[in-house]
Amino acid sequence: MLDMTFEEAWKIVDKIGVWDALVEEGARALWDAAVGLGPGRHFVEIGCHLGRSSTLFMLLAKQHKHSLTFIDPWAGPPFGESDEKVSDVTAASWFWLIRGFHYPFTLHCCRTEQIPEANYPRGIDFIYIDGSHTERCVEIDCRMIEEVTPGGIVAFDNYGTHPPVQAAVDRLLSLGVLKKRALAGIVMVTEKA
């Protein structure tokens, strides 16, 4: 597992879920940004769904001894705000997939704003935001950027395909909160100023 290359990791990730959940170009941008941070960092993923990006982060964590926090309620339609469960099977499949790596992680099976204050992630070095894509949900998820360390990575999925995501990212860039590092397809990788 040590010194795994992106290409080796992608062979594993590409077998999970649906082909358009996270494509190779975006996964490579996430991998490169994460590797550049060095070992022992705290990673947070908002919106795990089927587990493609979660698997990528798990492979990185095992190799570089990162701590991992995953957040997903597995509720509502993919881009909605309903509390109706998407699928208990999807959540269970994700859990057993990630647990199969035999590496510790924290899972909050709820929306970002539902995490108890005492358990709220702090000292984040890398956050990947791919939760619900409504304006309200994107704004709530972006609040966690306050917990990202200066110089930490803030990455977003669905930039350019979902207007609320692009609007939030563009606003944070224009305010100087974030600095653009890379746009790989629909994955925007930024750095906290």
d(CA 57, CA 27): 10
Residue-wise pLDDT tens digits, 12-22 = 999 987 766 89
Does residue 86 sit within a domain?
Answer: yes
Q: Residue 106 sits in a domain of what CATH number?
A: 3.40.50.150
pLDDT, residue 50, reads 85
Query: pLDDT tens across 75-87, in order?
Result: 765 444 555 555 5
Q: List the end-to-end C-alpha distance of the chain, in Å, as a whole number.
A: 33
Report the pLDDT value the prediction gives residue 87, as an integer from 0 to 100. Answer: 58
Q: Would residue 113 count as lying in a domain? A: yes
- pLDDT, one tens digit per residue, over 124-135 is 999 999 998 888
Count of structural domains within the chain: 1
Q: Which domain holds residue 76?
A: 6-12+19-192
| Surface-to-core class of residue 82, CB atoms within 10 Å of its CB (0-12 exposed, 13-18 middle, 19+ buried) | exposed
pLDDT digits (tens, 9 = 90+) for 48-69: 988 999 999 999 999 999 999 9
Structure tokens at 113: 């704003």
Cβ atoms of 7 and 28 within 8 Å: the answer is no
Q: Is residue 1 situated within a structural domain? A: no
Helix/strand/coil percentages in the chain, nearest 5: 40, 20, 40
